[in-house]
Structure 1
Amino acid sequence: MEATPEQAAAAKIYQSLKSTKEAFYANHSGSSITEINIVTSVAPIAYLIYAVLQTRKGFFHADEYSLPLFLIDFGLNIAALLLSITLYSEYAIYFVLLLILNVLILSTAQAPTPQQRPRRPPPRENLDRVLSEKEKLEAYLPKKAFITAWRGCMMVVTCLAILAVDFPVFPRRFAKVETWGTSLMDLGVGSFVFANGVATARSILRDDHLGKTAPLFTRLQRSLRSSFALLTLGLVRLALTKTADYHEHITEYGLHWNFFMTLGFLPPFTALFQGVFTSMLFPELLAICIGALYQLGLKRLDLQNWVLLAERTDLITANKEGIASFAGYLAIFLAGQAMGMRILPAVQSKRKPQGQNTPTKRPLLKPMLIQAVLWTVLFQVTVNYKYGLNLQVSRRLANMPYVCWVAAYNCWQLLAFYLIEVVWWGDAESAGGRGAGAGASYEERSPRMLRAFNSNGLVIFLVANVVTGLVNMTMNTIVTPTGAAMGALFAYALLVSGIAVGMNLKNINVKL
């Protein structure tokens, strides 16, 4: 049936709008790493303010979470980050200084005198006799507040950015770059993969500690279940995008590939490398080798030119960015696992020399600092013009400079969160600890808002993607004035945060 003139005109307007939107996301060159570091420093500073509020004012309690506390939590851990990447992005350094000033003012308050100190754990010589196997495992792999806060903040920024990028109030330099350069959103996707690597190290450590590491074939079978769930989400997203004729940035991953598919192909490699990780003295070496071999292939095998210049003539070339960049994301994932192997355990593994049958506390500062410095040095080696390889960062390729940048950034962020926890609460594994909040529980050390985003990260990310799509289909975001844009973003942030906290309060944890 032939279209009427009115239908033809409407279709022409729609195609023009779609082309305008696609141009809105394309050909960006990014911003400096320094600016990205300043803008995202709001996350650890917000955690620092939370630590001061807890130790000086005793604001939040593990068994109490009212609407006013939700709003304070939201303002501190959500609104501050949203403002830093939108309205206050041009004045990020002043915003950061204002937050630090709040820290200094709050720090002058006298810490409340605790009425009762938590009971000390049993003496070490009786620990094996007193604790059950489950309790020993929890003592070996406890929940750590600084990891939860770091991962929660990363999830928050990611969820905020995927909608904020659709509005002019979000600076174009923070959007994903076309090919070469660094941006906030480029860092976000890599950090998401790095954080997943840290989280998956827990299962590796648990199996090794209990001596229950499954055979390779069994591990691969289990990993396929996780892969199937993520790949299904990727296919559903692809179907919805194509059906709705949603605007796309093709050079991001390709015509059909998306971020869920990249995540979906990672679990089998977790199973494949599990035995290697538990036997390697330096598990970071595996990530470095994969990243270096991939970079060698980009240069020597002309893979880089194929990704950037080849025409999209078949299914492979249509998705060349997603297929090629997977090697880089795998290296980032393994770098995250290596960090997790070092920071998740609270005590040394049970495999100790004969006669040493008591747990030994693991110091974290040294291994975290070493990894941060290692990845920073490697990044400088890859990008330095005079003394290095003179390469450019490319999220599109996920090349070696990108791998090193993402790993270095997240190692330094983790170190910042760790130091905040240690200074204000003392070591989590010690009974008395040092600092004004010594003896506080994990729930008191970690903001509920960040625990909520951390415990259901992929589900919340999926919800954020769905809501983002709905917003884009109901309003022309790219011409929305600043006031209306911020209103929509705050409403979106409240909705996603409410869902996350609601699931947390109901103890709903969905693992994909």
Structure 2
Amino acid sequence: MDLGVGSFVVANALVSRQARNITSMRWKAALKSISPLVFLGFARLISTSGVDYQVHVGEYGVHWNFFFTLAAVSILTSIIRIHPKYCGIVGMLVLAGYQVWLNFGLNEYLTSDERSADIIGQNKEGVYSIFGYWGMYLIGVSLGYFLFHDLSSKGKIRSSQVVKVWVLATSFWILAIILDSYVERVSRRMCNFAYVMLVFGQNFQVISILTLAGSISHDKNLVLEEAFNQNMLGAFLVANILTGLVNLSVDTLSASPLAAFMILVAYTFNLCMLAGLAQFSGVRIKFW
């Protein structure tokens, strides 16, 4: 799930309204789109507390969870409106500034056991990592715009897009390795620069592989691919629920390699089956 949360942000950024250069929503519409995320955040907080579910406070904090992070990124995007052409530059600047802040002592604070009584101190990991996720989102918006949605480049050859995706995947992996080796180790907890590059590298590597599948299938999306595309939030919620059920019913720390493999197979099968059924039934969970 450490890679999954970042991948969810990237996937949404690539196909977002901003990446498609659609006029930004008004405040009422923006608040309406954010409210379900806030609701899900509180629902997760209440449900995990109610069933005494294992929650590591070092991940996001005492009360925070990823749904609150998504809501915060949406709020920042709504308040600070940036043309997709410049989102990449702004995103890199945000990440660079945040990384400098981390290197000058913020990382020590975030990884320590120190917690003040205020709401920010109680949820320091989740609150401060918003900067990393926001930078990640902005870069994703820019890449989505230039690669897939730029109207001025509709006539460009598909093969050139494929090459660009492969080059980007390689570049992100190289940057991730350099940052991890010489700046700061990859940390999802802090959502630092190295983690962001790792997430982009992994996602664009997957996209690169899918472009090959698309070439073989003559530009027709795979059925399972289409099912997940139509229900990304729904699939994400189901994945969270399935993960929770596994953690509640199985002692994962003492599970054997074979048992772990069988659990993963069952988990993947059920997730794909439910996504396929939702697609077949026309069910779609989408708030924005």
| TM-score using structure 1 length | 0.50
Q: Distance in 1 between matches of 2:213 and 2:241?
A: 35
The structural deviation recorded for 1:344 is 2.0
Residue deviations 1:177-210, cap 9 Å, x none?
xxxxxxxx4333222221121121x554252xxx
Q: Distance in 1 between matches of 2:198 and 2:250?
A: 36
- Alignment correspondent of 2:50: 243
Q: Distance in 1 between matches of 2:138 and 2:47?
A: 31
- Alignment correspondent of 1:7: none
Unaligned runs of 5+ in 2: none
Q: Distance in 2 between matches of 1:407 and 1:487?
A: 29
Correspondences of 1:183-202 after superposition (within 5 Å): 185-200=1-16, 202=17
The structural deviation recorded for 1:468 is 3.1
Q: Distance in 2 between matches of 1:480 and 1:306?
A: 34
Runs of 4+ in 1 over 6 A off after TM superposition: none
For the structure 1 residues 198 and 241, does the alpha-carbon distance in structure 2 shift closer, same or farther, using more than 3 Å as the test? same
Pairing 1:452–2:221 present = no
Q: Secondary structure at the match of 2:203?
A: helix
Pairing 1:307–2:110 present = yes
Correspondences of 1:219-368 after superposition (within 5 Å): 219-278=26-85, 280=86, 283-300=87-104, 302-309=105-112, 311-314=114-117, 315-345=119-149, 347-348=151-152, 360-361=155-156, 363-365=160-162, 367-368=164-165
Q: Distance in 2 between matches of 1:489 and 1:409?
A: 20
Q: Which amino acid aligns with 1:379?
A: A
Correspondences of 1:385-400 after superposition (within 5 Å): 385=182, 390-400=183-193
Pairing 1:405–2:195 present = no
Q: Which amino acid aligns with 1:196?
A: N
- Alignment correspondent of 2:281: 506
Q: Secondary structure at the match of 1:409?
A: helix
Residue deviations 1:421-467, cap 9 Å, x none?
23x255x4xxxxxxxxxxxxx3xxx2222222221121122123223
Unaligned runs of 5+ in 1: 1-184, 208-212, 350-358, 429-441
Aligned-residue Cα RMSD (Å) equals: 2.8
The structural deviation recorded for 1:484 is 5.4
CA contact (8 A) 1:255 1:318 kept: yes
Q: Which amino acid aligns with 1:504?
A: Q
Q: Secondary structure at the match of 2:15?
A: helix
| TM-score using structure 2 length | 0.85
CA contact (8 A) 2:21 2:145 kept: no
**Number of residues paired by the alignment?**
284
Q: Secondary structure at the match of 1:333?
A: helix
Please tell me whether Structure 1 or Structure 2 has the larger radius of gyration of its CA atoms: 1
Q: Counting helix residues as a fraction of each chain, which structure ranks higher?
A: 2
User: Which residue of the other structure, out of 453, 457, 467, is the alignment partner of 2:242?
Assistant: 467
For the structure 1 residues 373 and 507, does the alpha-carbon distance in structure 2 shift closer, same or farther, using more than 3 Å as the test? same
Residue deviations 1:356-385, cap 9 Å, x none?
xxx633641354355345534543543444
Q: Distance in 1 between matches of 2:250 and 2:185?
A: 37
- Alignment correspondent of 1:126: none
For the structure 1 residues 227 and 377, does the alpha-carbon distance in structure 2 shift closer, same or farther, using more than 3 Å as the test? same
For the structure 1 residues 322 and 365, does the alpha-carbon distance in structure 2 shift closer, same or farther, using more than 3 Å as the test? same
Q: Distance in 1 between matches of 2:241 and 2:280?
A: 22
The structural deviation recorded for 1:420 is 4.0
The structural deviation recorded for 1:321 is 0.7
Q: Which amino acid aligns with 1:305?
A: E
Q: Distance in 2 between matches of 1:486 and 1:372?
A: 28
Q: Distance in 2 between matches of 1:320 and 1:204?
A: 30
CA contact (8 A) 2:61 2:126 kept: yes
For the structure 1 residues 470 and 382, does the alpha-carbon distance in structure 2 shift closer, same or farther, using more than 3 Å as the test? closer
Q: Which amino acid aligns with 1:321?
A: E
- Alignment correspondent of 1:3: none
- Alignment correspondent of 1:152: none
Q: Distance in 1 between matches of 2:26 and 2:266?
A: 42
For the structure 1 residues 452 and 298, does the alpha-carbon distance in structure 2 shift closer, same or farther, using more than 3 Å as the test? same
Q: Which amino acid aligns with 1:319?
A: N
Q: Distance in 1 between matches of 2:20 and 2:209?
A: 24
CA contact (8 A) 1:393 1:401 kept: yes
Q: Which stretch shows the higher mean deviation, 481-490 or 258-267?
A: 481-490
For the structure 1 residues 478 and 375, does the alpha-carbon distance in structure 2 shift closer, same or farther, using more than 3 Å as the test? closer
Correspondences of 1:131-210 after superposition (within 5 Å): 185-200=1-16, 202=17, 204-205=19-20, 207=22
Q: Secondary structure at the match of 1:247?
A: coil
